[in-house]
Amino acid sequence: MRIIVTGCAGFIGSHLCEKLLHQEENEIIGVDCLIGPTPSLLKNQNLKTLLQHPRFQLLQDSLMDIDCNKLLQKADAVFHLAGIPGVRASFGHDFLPYTENNILATQLLLEAAKSAKLTNFIYASTSSIYGHKHGMVSEDAMPEPLSPYGVTKLAGEHLCSVYHKNFNVPVTILRYFTVYGPRQRPDMAFHRFIKQILLDQPLTLYGDGTQSRDFTYIDDCVKGTASIIQAENTAGKTFNIGGKERATINEVIGTLEQLAGKKASILYSDAAPGEPKHTHADISLAEKILGYSPDISLFEGLKKEIEYMKVILKGESI
C-alpha cells in the first residue's frame, strides 16, 4: 500500500510513519516543509530513523507548492497531519500561517483526492474544536472552538465533510486529545515542564493548575490512527482519540516531581486565552469500530518522556 503522510517530521507524524512501516506491504511518502513551533533541528532528529528506511521517501516541500494531483495519483491512503498547531500563538498577527496551512492546504489536498483512487483519507483534527464542555464529550457534541487555531481545524473538518458528501472522498476525521510523549513539541506543557524541572528552573504554569486534560500517550495515538486503514465503514465518520486517564496539571507536576526526584518551583501566570478548563474524551465509538483501547498510563508515559528529554538535553542522538 502506498501511503502519503503529511506532517511526517512532526511529533505525531514521525511516530505514525514508523508504525506504518512495521507492515512490510506499506510504502510511505512523507511530506513536510519543516515549519512550525518545533525547531528544524528536532524535526530532522525525528526523521533520522525514517530516512534510513528503504520504504520511506521524504518530500520536503509545502502542500501549497506541491502538485497534489501528482502526489496522490498512485496513492492508496492519505494521513493528513500537516498544519500549524498551537492555541496561544494563533491569536494576533500570526494567524495567516494558520489559514494557509490548516485550511487552504487541506482544500488543495482534498481537491486532488477527488480524482484519486483512495481507500482512506484521514484528517487529523483536535479536541480544541469542542471548546468548553462539561463531562465526557462524544463526537456529536456541538463544536464551539475557543481559539483561532480551533476554528481553522474545524474549518478543515467541514471541508472534509463537503468533499466526502459531494465527491465521495473516503474521509475519516480523528480528534486528538492532548497527545504527549517523546518528540512532543517544545511549546507544549509537558515538554516545558520536564525541561524546566531537569534544569532546576521554575515551571511556568498558566492558570492555577486545577485545569484537567484527557492525556493520550503517543503510542496509543498512532495505534488508533493507523487502525483506520484496517477498519471497515469508517468513511464519513469522526472519532475521538483519547487516553487512558485524566489528570489535573497540579497532579501531573506532582508525578513529574516524583519521577525526577526533586521539588519543582512554580511561576504562576494568567490562564491562557483559548484553552478549555477541562477535556474528557468519550472514546466508545473508537472502541466499537476501530477496536481502539489506550494502554499506557500517565505515570508510564511521563517516565518515557523524561528519559527522552534527558537525552535531548545532553545533545545526544536518539
pLDDT at 316: 58
Q: Give the residue from 126, 121, 119 showing the smallest Cα distance to 160.
A: 121
Q: Does the CA dihedral 251-43-276-244 come out positive or negative?
A: negative
Grid coordinates representing 151? 476554528
Residue-level pLDDT at 137: 97
> Which three cell numbers mark 265?
518551583
* pLDDT, one tens digit for every residue, the chain (318 residues): 999 999 999 999 999 999 999 999 999 999 999 998 888 889 999 999 999 999 999 999 999 999 999 999 999 999 999 999 999 999 998 899 999 999 999 999 999 999 999 999 999 999 999 999 999 999 999 999 999 999 999 999 999 999 999 999 999 999 999 999 999 999 999 999 999 999 999 999 999 999 999 999 999 999 999 999 999 999 999 999 999 999 999 999 999 999 999 999 999 999 989 999 999 999 999 999 999 999 999 999 999 999 999 998 987 554
- And the C-alpha cell for 94? 500570526
Domain boundaries, the chain: 2-179+217-242+278-295
Distance CA 277, CA 274 (A): 10
Catalytic residue positions, numbered: 149
Q: How far apart are CA 159 and CA 157, in angstroms?
A: 5
pLDDT (0 to 100) of residue 318:
47
**Residue 96, Cβ density class (10 Å: 0-12 exposed, 13-18 middle, ≥19 buried):** exposed
Residue 314: predicted pLDDT: 86
Distances (CA, A) of 284 to 145, 167, 223, 238, 304: 22, 29, 16, 12, 27
CATH superfamily, domain 2-179+217-242+278-295, is: NAD(P)-binding Rossmann-like Domain (3.40.50.720)
Question: What is the C-alpha separation between 61 and 32, in angstroms, rounded?
Answer: 6
Cell 468519550: give the residue.
282
pTM of the complete model: 0.96
